């Protein structure tokens, strides 16, 4: 058979064995459906007969594609089983990049437990799912791959009888037949809605299961490293998610203002569904009867008052589970989710109620129920909020220039139509003059031109979202191909016209503006752009307003793909390293923490690779939160 290469440090025999198992099941399906020519032409596995590909190339290509997916599943399972075996044999510190190794090394370096816990609590990680329509997979296919992988994991259990293993194999054949009959690819170019379904699949079906497991592994590694569990307490790295799907309009003409509005609505709706499901599960689990343990007076009062404030809805929530006050409390939280009268204004209010619920459980010495039931739900609320993922808005600086040119032309500014070709000094002078004036350039709602209308319509959607639901679901206004200070100030001018810039005399932007430095040349000049930008009065007010009582943060995105195209892998990595080093110093001088958004992923040419090695290779001082 053709050998399927195993991942590094993984038993390739295990990979081949799992792949052959899946491939044999797939061949059984094909043969049973009369596709014997396709089954025989598959070039891998014990039963490969090296037949010529069938005349109907399309179906054969689908079979080859499915076979590669099966190989990927086999590799992933083998890698996971290898890690489990190694951890079981050598301990949690045996695997590089995982909590066990990190905490053991920190302890060996003499860092005390309190400091480690404090640093963990200060960390924030925000994976951002970017928009690549050619990589979008159908959500139904993703779910079937997930089922097949779970079945492969289930087969690792040695408790099954021969008949039970045969039943599992039949389940695998059923999944493979569904995949074969479904088709893995889009028959037409995927639309933004298709991309969004792909992203929502991970945000609602995968990540909510992963986050609690990450916390569990941290707690286990903390104990295995011999650290005092009480020192860790509730300190956990914050995890947030972002997305570009429905917001990235750089070269994507189909991402309109209506698409952005629909995307925000869908993300909010799915977030509420996610939390409602989690609360429903918690309610079923918290069926504690007050006949067996008296509820604390604080809980009784909260249930009574909240039910009264919700009228008939609150009465129904209480009457549904008589003499079960903890479950009644969960019912009332569900009744207050967004979309109903008396709903929570922010996710923080739900977190506060969950904390009250946890306190009432601790009062009856049900600490285990807090950690197993309430804490995971609280973690989901903190992670996904009522917005699921923050939507970034990205546009190219050239598009913004054309939009401003249309705006200036409509306002009869002399030479405004050639704004993209103005000198940097003239551009900045015009922008500063307009930003210091409270009047708009054109009448609100007036049609200006295709570029200006596209940007302003999008920004008006963002302003409406901020007014209705706050800014938690909104990310940054990212300017790709940032090459000058004016490329960033232009955004403030457009934001002013659309209502995103608030305050007549000392304006503040509702959303942060983030530069994206992509080419080697742009990375080299980036410190000279960022310095004046973060010192600009509007930027300074915006950063401090968003920081509250904490330190102001300025997000800077750096591009791996374009810098690699521009200078090659080595030159790209060196340029990125030097830029981060310099940008960090610029932020330090201004009293602003620079938060880097690393546009990496996919292949090595896009900066992909083991994340723990990537983090260790970053410039000292550039990773702080």
Q: What amino acid positions are annotated as catalytic residues?
A: 132, 565
Instruction: Tell me the Cα Rg of the chain.
Output: 28
- H-only helix segments in 187-243: 192-201, 207-224, 229-232
* Closest C-alpha among 237, 283, 227 to residue 106: 227
Residue 501: name the closest of 592, 436, 450 by CA: 436
Taking 3-state DSSP, the helix, strand and coil percentages for the chain, each rounded to the nearest 5, stand at 60, 5, 30
Place of tokens 């990496």: 600
Q: What one-character-per-residue DSSP string does 85-99 give?
A: HHHHHH-GGGSTTSH
**How far, in Å, CA of 41 to CA of 37, rounded?**
6
Q: CA-CA distance, 625 to 622, in Å (whole number)?
A: 9
Q: 508 - beta bridge partners?
A: 502
The strand pairing partners of 595, in sequence order, are 555
Which stretch of DSSP H or E encloses residue 461? Answer: helix 450-469
Burial of residue 95 (CB within 10 Å: 0-12, 13-18, 19+) is middle
Distance (Å, whole) CA 45 – CA 68: 12
Q: What is the dihedral of CA 563, 564, 569, 574, to 10 degrees?
A: 0
Place of tokens 């007969």: 49
- Cα–Cα distance for residue pair 285/119, rounded to 1 Å: 33
């Amino acid at each position: 058979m053709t050998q399927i290469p195993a991942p590094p440090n993984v038993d390739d025999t295990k990979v081949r064995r799992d792949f052959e198992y899946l491939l044999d099941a797939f061949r059984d399906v094909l043969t049973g459906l009369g596709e014997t020519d396709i089954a025989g032409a598959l070039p891998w596995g014990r039963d490969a007969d090296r037949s010529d590909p069938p005349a109907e190339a399309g179906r054969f290509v689908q079979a080859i594609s499915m076979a590669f997916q099966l190989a990927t599943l086999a590799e992933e399972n083998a890698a996971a089983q290898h890690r489990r075996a190694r951890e079981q044999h050598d301990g949690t510190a045996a695997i590089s990049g995982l909590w066990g190794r990190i905490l053991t090394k920190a302890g060996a370096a003499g860092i005390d437990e309190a400091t480690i816990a404090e640093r963990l609590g200060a960390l924030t990680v925000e994976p951002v799912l970017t928009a690549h329509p050619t990589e979008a997979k159908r959500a139904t296919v993703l779910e079937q791959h997930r089922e097949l992988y779970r079945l492969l994991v289930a087969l690792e259990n040695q408790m099954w009888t021969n008949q039970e293993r045969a039943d599992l194999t039949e389940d695998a054949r059923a999944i493979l037949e569904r995949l074969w009959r479904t088709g893995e690819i889009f028959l037409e170019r995927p639309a933004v809605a298709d991309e969004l379904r792909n992203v929502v699949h991970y945000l609602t079906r995968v990540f909510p299961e992963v986050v609690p497991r990450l916390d569990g592994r941290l707690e286990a590694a903390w104990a295995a490293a011999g650290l005092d569990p009480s020192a860790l307490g509730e300190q956990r790295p914050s995890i947030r998610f972002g997305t570009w799907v429905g917001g990235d309009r750089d070269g994507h003409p189909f991402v309109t203002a209506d698409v952005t509005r629909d995307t925000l609505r869908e993300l909010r709706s799915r977030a509420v569904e996610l939390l409602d499901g989690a609360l429903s599960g918690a309610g079923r689990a918290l069926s504690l009867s007050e006949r067996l343990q008296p509820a604390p007076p604080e809980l009784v009062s909260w249930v009574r008052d909240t039910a009264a404030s919700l009228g008939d809805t609150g009465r129904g929530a209480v009457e549904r589970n008589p003499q079960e006050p903890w479950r009644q409390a969960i019912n009332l939280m569900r009744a207050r989710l967004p979309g109903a009268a008396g709903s929570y204004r922010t996710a923080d209010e739900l977190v506060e109620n969950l904390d009250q619920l946890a306190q009432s459980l601790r009062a009856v010495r049900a600490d285990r129920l807090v950690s197993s039931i309430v804490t995971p739900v609280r973690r989901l609320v903190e992670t996904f909020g009522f917005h699921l993922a923050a939507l970034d808005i990205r546009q190219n600086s050239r598009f913004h220039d054309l939009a401003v040119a249309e705006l200036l032309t409509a306002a009869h500014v002399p030479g405004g139509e050639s704004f993209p070709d103005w000198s940097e000094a003239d551009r900045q002078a015009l922008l500063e003059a307009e930003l210091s004036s409270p009047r708009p350039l054109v009448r609100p709602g007036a049609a200006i031109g295709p570029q200006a209308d596209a940007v302003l319509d999008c920004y008006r959607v963002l302003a409406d979202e901020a007014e209705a639901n706050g800014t938690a679901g909104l990310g940054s206004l990212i300017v790709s191909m940032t090459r000058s200070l004016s490329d960033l100030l232009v955004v403030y001018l457009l934001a002013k016209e659309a209502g995103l810039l608030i305050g007549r005399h000392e304006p503040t932007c509702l959303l942060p503006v983030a530069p994206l430095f992509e080419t080697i040349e742009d990375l080299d000049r980036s410190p000279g752009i960022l310095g004046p930008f973060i010192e600009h009065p509007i930027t300074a007010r915006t950063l401090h307003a968003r920081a509250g009582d904490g330190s102001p943060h300025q997000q800077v995105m750096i591009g791996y793909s374009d810098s690699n195209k521009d200078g090659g892998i080595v030159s790209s990595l060196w340029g990125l390293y030097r830029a981060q080093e310099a940008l960090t110093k610029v932020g330090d001088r201004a009293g602003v923490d620079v938060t880097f958004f690393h546009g990496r992923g996919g292949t090595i040419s896009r900066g992909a690779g083991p994340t723990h090695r990537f983090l260790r290779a970053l410039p000292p001082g550039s990773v702080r939160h």
